[in-house]
Every structure is written in structure tokens, then in C-alpha cells.
Structure 1
Amino acid sequence: MTTALAVRDPWALVPSLGNLDAYIRAVQALPMLTAEEEAQHAKALRETGDLDAAGRLVMSHLRLVVAISRQYMGYGLPQGDLIQEGNVGLMKAVRRFDPDQGVRLVSYAMHWIKAEIHEYIVRNWRLVKVATTKAQRKLFFNLRSMKHALKGQTDSPQRQALSEAEIAEVARSLNVKPEEVIEMETRLAGGDVALEAPADDDEGAPPAPISYLSDDLQEPSRLLERRARDEMASTGLSRALEQLDERSRRIVQARWLDVNDDASGGKTLHELAAEYGVSAERIRQIEVAAMKKMRAALQAA
């Protein structure tokens, strides 16, 4: 049995993923199991549920997860998160591994590690519904490498747009529509933008998206203010009108509340003056007094 792995707490040999560099150095230093040791531990796990054996199988393949995680660094997700998800896939592989099949764990685990990382990327990538079908997922995870092969060993092949012939070739190879290739290429080429400005942001820099994407209308103070205004416009206004005599209420309603559908506005002072047989100035005085009385009623509410 490998001495380095035969410890009471094998996980103590590996630091936390919070220090990624130290973690990678530690897992790279762990020795690999021989075929005989791997089969011995796998049988012990399957037959007796030996957790120490499971731990040694997992630890001896942590470097495999680190190597696979590097293949998915172009999706804007932290490598530590990719490694963590890959480790979950490795544990699933160890639990299902059958040494009697004549296959080494490294070959069997690769599928589970990649599958778990794939699911994580699709779940958490910055674009919603980036890959919903099996063909689209295949496009999502192969477009970068295919584009690199088509464009050659240039400094930045991902920034060069595919030609129509190259789009058709990718679509034919991956069994998707050319429109899906174009859409996926556009999404993959889009850069991430920080919502908040960095701490050392200078005054001349453009405003961060958080400054114009936030919905001020949903702030609690705005909601309360809008609710009070709506209350004022409905029941509050009705209560204020009830404080007026019939003529004053009629004048206020005709002037400000009974607006015609043709956007011509309420009645004029002269129209109301002719209706009540008084001067326009008298109608104005009644209106001013009524508005003052209503304002007092609203403030007292």
C-alpha cells in the first residue's frame, strides 16, 4: 500500500480550495495508485463500504480533475468551482467503479468528471438558455476548439468571426442549424461586464451598469410613496370632495375631474359662469376657496 496515502485522515493531506495554488501543488504531489492497489481499494469499497479505501481512490485521482478543469477555463467561471464540481463527478465515479471490468479508474472517471463540469457550466453560465438540447450542448462545448482549428494557431482565434463556409462546416459536423452556430458564436464572443464599478474607479470612467439597471421603482420608500399617492387619488380625493357644498363640488369636478375623451379639458370659467348665471371671476373665487378647503382636508387625512 502506498505509504503517503495510508494515513488516518487522508483528506488532511489536501488544503482547502480557497488557496487554489496550494491545493493544486498538493494534489500533484500525491502518488498514483498501482493497478493492484486500485483494484484492492475498489473491491474493499464495493464489498465492505470501506470509506478509507474510497478516500484513497478519490485522492489518487484529484490531479485528473485539475487537468480536466483547465479545459473549461474559457467560460468565465472560477477554476476552483470547476474543480469542486469535477470532484463531485469523481466521487460518483468511485462509487460506481467496478474493477472486474478490466478498465482503470482514470478512464472510467473522465466521463463522470466532464459530465458534472458540463452541467455546472450550463447551469451557471452568464447566458440563459445557452444550450437546451443535446445538439446545442455539443455545439456549446465544441465550438471553441473547432473555431481554433479552423482559424489556425493565431493569437486570438476566438475573436475572429467565422465565415459563411466555416459556419456551414461547423453546422454540418455538429448536426445543428447554421443559425444556431451564429447565435452561439455571438454569445461566446460576448464579454463579461462588472455590474459594480471597481473600488479604484476614476471619475472619468463611464457609469457602472448597476447605476442604470437598478429598478428604483421597487425600492420600499418608492413603493410606500406610490401607495400613498394612489390612496390619495382615490379615497382621499373622494373624502375631500365630500367637504364641499354642492355648487363648489360641481365646479371642481367640471373644471378638473370631468375631462373629455377628446382631450379638450374641463369646462372653462366662462362656461360655468353662464351655467350658474354669475361672473367668471365669481366662479374663480369659488374654485380657489374649494381647492383650499380640499387641500386642508387631504393634509388632515
Structure 2
Amino acid sequence: MKSFGMAAAIGAALSVFAALPSVAETVNVRLARQFGIGYMPLTLVQEQGLLEKHAKEAGLDVTTEWLRFTGGSGMNEALLSGSLDIAAGGTTPMLTIWARTQGNIKIKGVAALASMPLHLMTTNPDIKSLSDFTRGDKIALPAVKTSIQAITLQMGAEKFLGEGKHAALDTFTVSMGHPDAQVSLMGGQSEINSHFGSPPFQNMEAKDAGAHKVLDSYDVLGGSHTFTAIWAKNEFIEDNPEVVKALMAALEESIAFIKANPEEAARIWAKAENTNLSQDEIVALINDPQTNWTTTPERLLPYVNYMARVGLITKDTDDWRDLFFDTVKDMQGS
């Protein structure tokens, strides 16, 4: 009888223990972003602790580690080496790593961040169009041949200089982060006399009387397109479904906050980036009618189709959903 009673007691105790809520294991998420206002949704996620907030609401204990990169290629290397979970950058580095990994680790997009125009600026008064670049000119951009600026420059060369001319301007390009490129361009003391940048760097350059715009990415693509996005390995997405849901909720809250509170979003971003832009200038960038803060991908197929056609990548698709995980499958992307 004693053994029966003891067994019953143990069974009851186990039942109570099983009913208790489990203690969530702490998940450390390593995220990265680059320089520029196109990463504002991520800046607010970081500064306002939105990923941690939404994870906690789902019963998860999440910590975050934020890294900074000057280009997408370095970010992809970190992703491949396992030292990064969520990469963020221009869309073409994402497309490059997507094409390379679909037969193995399957890296795909998680969400877009913003659609923004990219401007090729120059201080050379003789350059009015792409055909005016000569051997003495140098174009700074985040990464030669792989950054969204480099690919857009190739697409622009093909569109405005003619078929087969897509690589005509590659010889003029040099890899340089946007902050350094802006300093080099406006300082006038380096070989850099052109910069294919992004907001806010191109906007600050445009304020200088000696600089002017040569090319607009919206003209190349025929309309607005996704500039910044985030991507990850399939393993991370599959192993952390609740964390991914929390990340998407954090991004949606961040973007809603930017749209509803541009002045406060500008203040938070300015403090985090230590920018020289005024409050009014940042708000103007946020409210720019050409900018669309959204997680919905836009006009990525022209990029992937071009890159596949000229041999920059070995995989192509006519369905933008192939480029992303199911995190954005119900959106009206392109």
C-alpha cells in the first residue's frame, strides 16, 4: 500500500510539474544594418527594444546584438560564417546570396524595409550623363559589382548607353562606405568626384552648389523599388518561428511609428546616428513622397532578371515570392 501511495504521489507531482509554464530559453539574435536613413525601421527596432518587446509578449526571452557594416558583401560573409542571424542591406546583395544558396542552406529575404530612389551625384561639371565619364573620373559606391548601386549603374548603362554596354562604367567604380564617400566627394581633395549613394548622403550632397545629379534609380527601374531589405538563413527561420513572428511585428510597429510620428522618429534616428542633418531635414526625408516605408517587396524582379541574364547570378525567377520566406507571402509585392 505504501508503494502504491508513493507512486500516486509521484504521479500527482509530475502532473503538476507538467502543467507549470516552461521557462523560456534565452535566444540571442544577432542583427546588422548599414548607414543611411533607409535602415530607420531597424534603428527604431533597436532603440525602442521592439523585438524584445514582441518576443516577451509571446513568452520568449530574447536578447539582441547589433552589428554595423558598410556593404552587403561583408554582411553575407558574416551570415555564411554563422556570426550573424539577420542581414540588412540593399536588395542586390540579398539576391546574390539567394542565388548562391538555394541548393544548400537556402538564404532568402525576410522583409523589405523601404523603397527609396538612389542618386548618382558628381562634382564634375562636365558630366551631364553616363556617356560623359572619362578615365579620370571615380565613382564611389558601397561595393563594386555587388551593391544595389553597382547593379543599378550597370542597368542604367545598358538602358541609356545601349545593349552590351552594361559594364561600361565598372572601371570607374571604387568600393567605399557612404560616410567616407560623402566626405571624399565634398572635400575635393581625393580622386573621388562622383558618389552613387542613398538618402541622406545624396541629399546632403545635393545641397552643395558644386554637385549635381547624373542618374536616378527610379528612372532606371521605371518606378519606385525596394532599396533596403533583411534576409536570413532557412535554418534560423525554421528553428525560431516565434522569434521571426516577433521580428515582423517589431518591424510593422516601427514602420507604423515612422509614418504616424515622423518628428519623434527623426529625433530617435538623429541621436542614434549622430548625424549633422537638422530635424526638419530628417522629417522631410521621412515624408518624401518618393519614399515608401513598407515590408512589402517592390520591383525586385527587374534586378534578379537582369543579374541572371548578364551572368552575375546563376538562378532566375519570375515570381518574387521565390526570393522571400513566407513572412511576406500574403503581400502584393513585385
TM-score bracket for this pair, using the shorter chain length? under 0.3
Higher relative contact order (CA 8 A, sep 6+): 2
Higher strand share: 2
- Greater Rg, structure 1 or structure 2? 1
Question: TM (normalized to structure 1)?
Answer: 0.20
Larger proportion of helix? 1
Tell me the TM-score normalised to structure 2 length: 0.18
